[in-house]
Amino acid sequence: MRWAMGAQIPAGDSRGKSLDADAVPPTAVGSHPVNVPAVANVDRIAQIEQLLGRNVCRSLGIYRLPEGFMLSVVIPVFNERNTVEEIVRRVRTSGVPTEIILVDDGSTDGTRELVASWPAESGLKIVLHERNRGKGAAIKSAFSQVRGDVVIVQDADLEYDPAEYMKLIQPIVEGKADVVFGSRFAGDSQRVLYFWHYVGNRLLTLLSNAVTNLNLSDMETCYKVMRREVVERIAPTLVEERFGIEPELTAKVASLPGVRIFERPITYSGRTYAQGKKITWRDGLRALWCIIRYCRGVR
């Protein structure tokens, strides 16, 4: 079934070297299942709905996913050997049926060798870039391979929590939204870090809103969740190779006729530069240029 703006989800080797794999080794996921069994989830939700009522459950983000639903999780990775196994484990145990497209963007710290050594199974596809090209390049490589009903971008550094997937996809599953932004500035728990990063994020969001006519609170968020058909519409037009992909994605999504965009609060556990944070002031300047460059959206 093809999608159109406003539709509810019905019940029922790109660039680089590609390896098929669908589960990380036991050391990465331990005894956890690849995904929480759907039947078990439905049974638990039915019990909670009996106790609290369906409307209360929906307001708490407790609801039933359509039969056969799948979330495509795009994970760009660069030098994240210490966290990549843990993020895959968290995605696997998020309670949402997923496929993972993990793109190693030329890592030099052993991440590339680690993910390439995982046994091949279904549900996890690994793409290896021969050299470091940037987050945008990794996202573009992954977008060409997604098969799920909904697509989300997930950083590998543990700053964003896959436990919030159910909350983020809810407006799309219920037919209210086509795109959902997860906002770090909308009220949930945040780690307190850099003042000037905060100022820079708010300024870039303000300028982006001015050219897109949106009222987002966090344009630079990693958590951008889209129906697959939205991804298919904008992916061939994407240009940015590095962090400029964030304002470019925002501008091009906003330019789609009839697209409905929601924002939901998320938690955020930011890293310090000593812990491996990579974005710098130069990326902020590039983001400013990208806001201007892509102000016309998809052309």
Q: pLDDT of 120-140, one tens digit each?
A: 777 999 999 999 999 999 999
Report the range of poorest mean pLDDT among 125-134, 188-197, 270-279: 270-279
pLDDT of residue 37: 52
- Positive or negative, the CA dihedral 235, 19, 36, 221 is negative
pTM of the predicted protein model: 0.81
Q: What is the mean pLDDT of residues 201-225?
A: 94
Enumerate domains of the chain plus CATH numbers.
Answer: 17-293 (3.90.550.10)
pLDDT, residue 44, reads: 80
Residues 51, 201: Cα–Cα separation, whole Å: 42
The pLDDT assigned to 297 comes to 78
Which comes out higher in pLDDT, residue 230 or 10?
Answer: 230
3-state secondary structure the chain: CCCCCCCCCCCCCCCCEEEEECCCCHHHHCCCCCCCCHHHHHHHHHHHHHHHCHHHHHHCCCCCCCCCCCEEEEEEECCCCCCHHHHHHHHHCCCCCEEEEEEEECCCCCHHHHHHCCCCCCCEEEEEECCCCCHHHHHHHHHCCCCCCEEEECCCCCCCCHHHHHHHHHHHHCCCCCEEEEECCCCCCECCCCHHHHHHHHHHHHHHHHHHCCCCCCCCCCCEEEEHHHHHHHHHHCCCCCCCHHHHHHHHHHCCCCCCEEEEECCECCCCCCCCCCCCHHHHHHHHHHHHHCCCCCC
What confidence tier does 189 reach under pLDDT thresholds 50, 70, 90?
Answer: low
- 5-24 pLDDT tens trace: 555 565 544 434 444 443 33
Q: Going by DSSP bridges, is the β-strand pair 179-183/98-105 parallel, antiparallel, or unpaired?
A: unpaired
pLDDT at 87 over 60: yes
What integer pLDDT is reported at residue 18 of this predicted model?
46
